[in-house]
Amino acid sequence: MKYQVDKNGFYGEFGGAYVPEILYATVKNLQEQYLGIIETEEFKQEYHQLLKDYVGRPSPLYFASRMSEKYGCQLYLKREDLNHTGAHKINNTIGQILLAKKMGKTRIIAETGAGQHGVATATVCALMGMKCEVFMGATDVERQHTNVERMKMLGAEVHPVRTGNMTLSDACSEAIRDWCCHPSDTFYIVGSTMGPHPYPDLVARMQSVISEEIKWQLEEKIGRDYPDYLIACIGGGSNAAGTIYHYMDDERVKIVLAEAGGHGWQTDHTAATIHKGTTGILHGAKMLVMQNEDGQIEEAFTISAGLDYPGVGPMHCNMAKQGRTQILAINDDEAIRGGYELTRMEGIIPAIESAHAIAALEKMKFKKDDVVVLTVSGRGDKDVETYLKNKEMAGEYGNF
Ligand SMILES: *Cc1c(COP(=O)(O)O)cnc(C)c1O
């Protein structure tokens, strides 16, 4: 249990709950109540029923034979791309909206970058008939227009945020600001393993269904319930947390996470927070953040809107620091190539975020019978334009 959150909300030196005074009582109340609610039989029953009938779980664990051949290992893909709304994010929003309802909240707010978490939140709000407001940087509103229209169609109100760089980080700040004004009736559905305690733990638990399924699916397919390697991409860290949750303390399993290198982690155009960041406080938690000497947050750069965040969740900061996880920085061109490769070799167009995990394969050395489970966090429909615009990065796959 050494990588789990402690009773004060910390993962080693990272985490905690650094919130404005006006939110103390609300956050404390959530800290005191969340486990009691999500561990009841009633909650689990409703949550798992919805995951099955509404989200479409369990997501398949697919043996990728051509890619296995190429990389000299036994590669299995955990297909979160097949979930309703196209990514793992819905696992978390289903759980949090059930929690919000049980806590008697009537208004939902969320932040979003690429719009995937906004869509997943708007979706569960429509499902439950609850009022939904989403904060989104004005820059992202422009470049992710389809997701904005989806949210509106689902009945959500989208607030363009015009502070700072007008991207995800600013949207988070604005959501927290709104929460400060409506602490009693509003539930903030956080989209990744970030934010003040208990959010990183809450989100990790909601995503842990991923590794819960991997366990029995591997047992069924290969007669043992653990792989040699787990691979996932990491932005705030939620799909990675879900993928590794039930294996964190199992040292037989090596964990490799791919963060977004952008143009290269040593350049100014990067989102590789674990490589480049230093300890600071952002959006309610102590974690690794990209900042200048004065503690000003620096903008993150990556081709992938879903990984475009200058921080990374506290659980992952601690695990990386303890040496439990190996972190690779995957650059834009490598991710694009990885995305095309999965498309051509297995007929699966992955989200550009997930393509970072695919690209990690090339940087690793496997033995023939190593069992590798790689999470495909989302599907690439939203990224077709990006793939086409950058097909010169795809090598031989770009000649069409
Ligand atoms: C949002 C998103 C991510 C990054 O978020 P995590 O919390 O790190 O998982 C990765 N993949 C997809 C498809 C996403 O939508």
The rounded average pLDDT for each run of 10 residues, N- to C-terminus, in the chain (400 residues) is 94 98 97 98 98 98 98 98 98 98 98 96 98 96 92 98 92 97 96 98 98 98 98 98 98 98 97 98 97 92 92 98 98 98 98 98 98 98 95 93
Note the pTM of the prediction, 2 decimals. Answer: 0.98
| 83 and 93 co-located in one domain | no
Q: 3-state DSSP call for residue 207?
A: helix
Pairing of strands 74-79, 61-63: antiparallel
Q: What is the domain-level CATH number for residue 267?
A: 3.40.50.1100
> Would you state the pLDDT for residue 305?
87
> Would you state the pLDDT for residue 241?
98
DSSP class of residue 347? S
| 310 and 385 co-located in one domain | yes
Instruction: Name residue 131's amino acid.
Output: K
Q: How far is CA 273 from CA 204, 237, 300, 334, in A?
A: 19, 11, 9, 18
| 62 and 31 co-located in one domain | no
Contact present, 254 and 367 (Cβ < 8 Å): no
Prior bond of 200 cis (ω within 30°): no
| 219 and 306 co-located in one domain | yes
Ligand 1 neighbourhood includes 89 CB (under 6 angstroms): yes
| 241 and 275 co-located in one domain | yes
Q: Is 89 a catalytic residue?
A: yes
Q: Which of 115, 203, 233, 111 is nearest to 164 (CA)?
A: 111
> Would you state the pLDDT for residue 73?
98
Contact present, 309 and 235 (Cβ < 8 Å): yes
| 198 and 236 co-located in one domain | no
Between CA 112 and CA 192 the distance in angstroms is 10
Residue 185, token pair as written in the block:
């009736």
> Would you state the pLDDT for residue 151?
98
Ligand 1 neighbourhood includes 195 CB (under 6 angstroms): no
Contact present, 288 and 278 (Cβ < 8 Å): yes
> Would you state the pLDDT for residue 143?
83
- Best of 59, 79, 116, 374 to mutate for ligand 1, by most ligand atoms within 8 A of CB? 116
Position in ligand 1 atom list of the atom nearest CA 193: 7
DSSP class of residue 291? B
Distance 354 CA to ligand 1 centre (A): 8
Q: Is 211 a catalytic residue?
A: no
Residue 54, token pair as written in the block:
């509404």
The answer to whether residue 64 sits within a structural domain is yes
Classify residue 367 by burial, with Cβ atoms within 10 Å: 0-12, 13-18, 19+. Answer: exposed
Pairing of strands 325-331, 254-262: parallel
> Would you state the pLDDT for residue 64?
98
Distance 259 CA to ligand 1 centre (A): 11
Contact present, 359 and 335 (Cβ < 8 Å): yes
Ligand 1 neighbourhood includes 376 CB (under 6 angstroms): no
Range(s) of the domain holding residue 268: 56-87+208-398
Q: Which of 78, 89, 276, 286 is catalytic?
A: 89
Closest residue to atom 2 of ligand 1, CA basis: 306
Distance 307 CA to ligand 1 centre (A): 7
Domain boundary among 203, 233, 256: 203
> Would you state the pLDDT for residue 154?
98
